[in-house]
Amino acid sequence: MARKAGRAGSSAEVPTIGEVPVFIDNLARLYQADCFEWLERQPEQSVHAVVTDPPYGLIEYSSEEQVKLLEGRGGIWRVPPSFDGHRRAPLPRFTVLRQRDHDELRHFFQRLGALLRRAAVPGANVIVASNPLLAHIVAAAMVEGGLELRGYIARLVMTMRGGDRPKNAHEEFADVSVMPRSMWEPWVVLRTPLEGRVQDNLRKWGTGGFRRISKERPFGDVIRSGPTPVSERRIAPHPSLKPQAIMRQIVRASLPLGEGIVLDPFAGSGSTLAAACAVGYPSIGVERDSRFVAMASEAIPRLAALRVREEGNA
Ligand SMILES: C[S@@+](CC[C@H](N)C(=O)[O-])C[C@H]1O[C@@H](n2cnc3c(N)ncnc32)[C@H](O)[C@@H]1O
C-alpha cells in the first residue's frame, strides 16, 4: 500500500479492521485492543511512522500493579517525595527488574519490532521513548525483530531517578550518589529497512528521513524539555503522560514529507495522537485499558488545541 494518507491535513485513508475505533477530530483513530493482537490483524505496510511510549516493567500496567498504585502501597510504582508543596507523579521503579524481567522485556520488544516491521512501510521511522537503564535492551531486541537502529534522541529532562545517597548509610557516605542523577531520557530511533535508495523511499512511500525544522535546520537528536506541565496533566491524568511540546516536535519530524499515518500502539491518554492532530497528521492509537481509552478520547482534542511553548532542539 503506497502513501495512503495524502497530504497532511487531508482526510486519512486508514485501513479498517473488525473493531470499532473512536474517531477524534477526523484525524485520529483510537482502538481499544491489545496492540500485539491488533498488529497481527493489520494489513502489511499500512502505517508510515511509529512514535510510542511503551510500558517498561511490563508489569506496571497489570491490574495487580495498578491496584498497588491506587492504594499507594509497594509494587513497582514509587511516589517521589513532594517538593515545594507539589505532589509528584508516581514513577515505575525499574531497578527492581531482575534477569527474568529483562528476558521478558527482550522478547516483548523483539516481537513488537517484528510486528511493526510488517505493519509499517519501508523506511518508516520507529521512535520509542525509553530510559537509561533499559534502552540498550529495547534497541537490541527491536533490531533482532528486523528493524535498523538509527540512533537515539536525548530528551534533556530532570527525572526523579538516580542521585540518591546509599540507602540506610546516607549520613556515613554523604558525598556519594549511588548512580548518576538522571538528566536525560533516551528515545530509541529505529527504521524499517529501506527499499532501494532514500530518494526511492521518499518518492514511493514518503519515508526514509526526518522532516527538517526549516530548510536551514535539520531535526536534531537533543531536545530540551521540561516535565509534563500541570495544565496537561489535569486534562489527561495518566501516570506516564508525555508533554505536548516534545511530542509535537518528534511526531512532526517522523514523517519527512509531512505525509502518511503515525501509529502509537501504546497510546495511553493519547499524547502522540494529540500531537499528530496539532501538526495536522492522521494517526492511529491502540490502548488496552478502557479507562485510558475513555481518558484519551476526551483529552486528545483538548491537548491538541493547547498552545505550547517548544523549548526546541538544543
Ligand atoms: C507508558 S504508557 C503511555 C502513555 C502515553 N505516552 C501518554 O502520554 O499518555 C503505556 C500504555 O500502554 C498501555 N498498554 C500496555 N500494554 C499494552 C498492550 N499490549 N496493548 C495496548 N496497550 C498497552 C498501558 O495501559 C499504558 O496506558
Q: How many CB atoms lie within 10 A of CB 12?
A: 20
Close Cβ partners of 252 (under 8 Å, ≥ 6 residues apart): 211, 258, 275, 279, 281
- The CA distance from 119 to 102, in Å, is 25
CB–CB of 276/282 below 8 Å?
Answer: yes
* Degrees, nearest 5: CA angle 263-212-277: 35
pLDDT at position 7 is 37
Taking the domains of the chain in order of start, what are their residue ranges?
A: 22-58+106-305
Domain 22-58+106-305 architecture? 3-Layer(aba) Sandwich (3.40)
pLDDT at position 91 is 59
- Residues 126-179 have pLDDT tens digits of 999 999 989 999 999 999 999 999 999 999 998 767 778 998 999 999 999 998
Check pocket membership of 131 for ligand 1, CB cut-off 6 A: no
Check pocket membership of 306 for ligand 1, CB cut-off 6 A: no
Of 44, 40, 47, the closest CA to residue 14 belongs to: 47
Percentage above 90 pLDDT, the chain: 70
Residue with more model confidence, 98 or 226: 226
For residue 127, report the distance from its CA to the centre of ligand 1, in Å. 15
The yes-or-no verdict on residue 225 having pLDDT over 70 is yes
Residue 150 in 3-state DSSP? Answer: strand
Q: How many CB atoms lie within 10 A of CB 119?
A: 25
- Closest residue (by CA) to atom 18 of ligand 1? 34
Close Cβ partners of 180 (under 8 Å, ≥ 6 residues apart): 162, 163
The yes-or-no verdict on residue 299 having pLDDT over 60 is yes
For residue 54, report the distance from its CA to the centre of ligand 1, in Å. 6
- The CA distance from 207 to 229, in Å, is 32
pLDDT at position 24 is 77
- Stated as kind and residue range, the H or E segment containing 249 is helix 244-254
CB–CB of 22/297 below 8 Å?
Answer: yes
Q: Quickly tell me which residue has 500496567 as its cell.
A: 61
The yes-or-no verdict on residue 293 having pLDDT over 50 is yes
- Residues 199-211 have pLDDT tens digits of 999 999 999 999 9
Pocket perturbation via mutation, ligand 1, pick of 266, 290, 300 by most ligand atoms within 8 A of CB: 266
